[in-house]
Chain A
């Protein structure tokens, strides 16, 4: 079983390492030219306006998605946590739908909806799509954190004379800060790579995965491989960051 695990880790990483590899080395007729190592694609990347623009678009979408999804996600998590209404189960089910359904359905239902209300497709429609898609995860992470807090925490804040806002700002927020950060980072990571929903909602702009998709028909240039490598480094960094925050916050609880 250990061997199988090793093989699977290898299988999952082979495509990724190959990409990094091809960004440094040239191949000719299927053979690797070992002397061709160069950083050149990375420096040339600066001149690839299209790729850079798509990267910027992706980052824009990612950042706005994070803000929207964390704010709305927190709001719903807090509502779900404090409300006694029976509707909340229904609400949770709805929030989870876009995450559980095939992305194609979320994508095309929003496409049809935007057409019906005459909203032209743009990066902002992509943001809406991404926000809806990641909302379930953000909601769940924040809710899990809220549920570990004792009700007496907020009650004691009110008891000591805090206003609603003060209780939120000085007591609740510092306690759930980490979960908000984790949720935000996760939302950003997912948004950065989202393809299936984006394909339906993107207008004339392109995000980075869509650019890759378009470039794939003609084959990847070394600059594309270089951009992939950079993004891979960024996403691994983000995931590792999330993991370290989680493990550190868990240690805090046990000690």
Chain B
């Protein structure tokens, strides 16, 4: 007589093994996918930064040449610092304009707050290139701003203050990136329970004190997240400076991009981008820790 039980046991074991294998194969695939499409490209571009170029050939040999170039070529460090300052300026202007708006929406706009927020979000998804182009025509010599100022009699001659310089880059970036700071700030301000604000009044706060000690600190994580978004995007942008910045549109992102275009020095471009990457990752990790800390 055949004894079925050992056979069944064997079969079940096999099934388990297959199941285990099946689930782990999916896990495997997902990890391979992410790693091959995100990590390996990042790795390959980091490794490129250690290569050099000879004419149109890329020499796959380890060298610190590009980093030496960055450190010795004054223009690169200067541009890097100038771009950081530019991004910081954009960030601060965005905070200055965006925070009051987010605050107003979260606290005083009542039932209209979501509609207004939606109005502020929609432009974010509207053609980036078009916004730059139109900002160019608004800021330009015969653009809207100059016309309006002239009409109001504030100026006689059109101002050149607005186009082909750093101001133009800053204004354009602010217009493009402003919603990014309003949204997270609004969300974190809106989440503050009403009774926490009431409690601060109850304990003797005047309105400004309630803002300073309670509302502002609790809403801070949202503001930080928004600011970092604005900062990083402003730091890496190369299209805006090129299109409205004129000669001063020579930002760090632009240098990186030109190394992949006309200059055709990929390794050097990769090295410059690696520095940008490192700065960005440090900022992201730092922010992450900051907001995690305030969460718990």
A239 touches B116 (CB 8 A): no
Give Cα A62 to B4, complex, Å. 56
Q: Determine the chain A residues whose CB is within 8 A of the CB of B30 once the complex forms.
A: 75-76, 79, 91
A148 at the interface (CB under 8 A from B): no
| B216 at interface by CB-CB < 8 Å | no
B128 and A195 contacting across the interface, CB-CB below 8 Å: yes
Q: B37, B116, B253, B280: which contacts A9 (Cβ < 8 A)?
A: B116
**CB atoms of A11 and B175 under 8 A apart:** yes
Contact with B along A235-246 (1 / 0, CB 8 A): 110111001000
Residues of B within 8 A of A75 (CB): 26, 30
A9 contacts across to B, CB distance below 8 A: 116, 119-120
Could you tell me the distance between the alpha carbons of A243 and B122 in the complex, rounded to whole angstroms? 10
Identity of the chain B residue whose Cβ is nearest the Cβ of A4 in the assembled complex: B100
> Would you list 29 pairs from A and B whose C-beta atoms are within 8 A, ordered by A residue?
A2-B104, A5-B105, A15-B130, A15-B133, A16-B123, A16-B126, A19-B130, A85-B27, A94-B34, A97-B38, A101-B284, A102-B235, A104-B236, A105-B273, A108-B269, A109-B42, A110-B41, A112-B270, A190-B125, A193-B125, A199-B257, A212-B129, A228-B127, A228-B130, A232-B126, A235-B122, A236-B122, A239-B122, A243-B114
The answer to whether the Cβ of A159 comes within 8 Å of any Cβ in the partner chain is no
Chain A residues, CB < 8 A from B273 = 104-105, 108-109
Q: Provide the residues of chain A in CB contact with B135, threshold 8 Å.
A: 15
Q: A1-B103, A5-B105 are in contact. Are A104 and B280 (CB under 8 A)?
A: no
Output the nearest chain A residue to B259 by Cβ-Cβ distance.
A108
Which one of A5, A112, A195, A240 lies within 8 Å of B129 (CB-CB)? Answer: A195
Give A253 Cβ to nearest chain B Cβ, in Å. 16
Taking a contact as CB atoms under 8 Å apart, the answer to whether B178 and A12 are in contact is yes
Q: Does A255 contact B (CB under 8 A)?
A: no
B48: chain A residues within 8 A (beta carbon): 112
A residues lining the B interface (CB < 8 Å): 1-2, 4-5, 8-9, 11-16, 18-19, 30, 72, 75-76, 79, 83, 85, 87, 91, 94-95, 97-98, 100-105, 108-113, 116, 128, 132, 189-190, 193, 195-196, 199-200, 209, 212-213, 216, 220, 228, 231-232, 235-236, 238-240, 243, 247
In the complex, which range does the number of interface residues on chain B fall in? 35 or more
B276 close to A (CB within 8 Å): yes
Collect the chain B residues with CB atoms within 8 Å of residue A200's CB.
Answer: 260
- With A9-B120, A16-B131, A94-B38 known, 11 other A-B pairs at CB within 8 A are A72-B33, A102-B233, A104-B256, A104-B257, A104-B273, A105-B273, A112-B44, A113-B44, A213-B129, A239-B121, A243-B114
Q: Are the CB atoms of B137 and A240 closer together than 8 Å?
A: no
Q: B218 an interface residue at 8 Å Cβ cutoff?
A: no
- Interface residues, chain B, with chain A CB atoms under 8 Å away: 26-27, 30-31, 33-35, 37-42, 44-45, 48, 97-98, 100-101, 103-105, 108-109, 114, 116, 118-123, 125-135, 137-138, 142, 144, 147, 175, 178-179, 232-233, 235-239, 243, 253, 256-257, 260, 266, 269-270, 273, 276-277, 280-281, 284
Whether A247 pairs with B45 at a CB distance below 8 angstroms is: no
Q: Which of B109, B118, B142, B178 has the most CB of A within 10 A?
A: B118
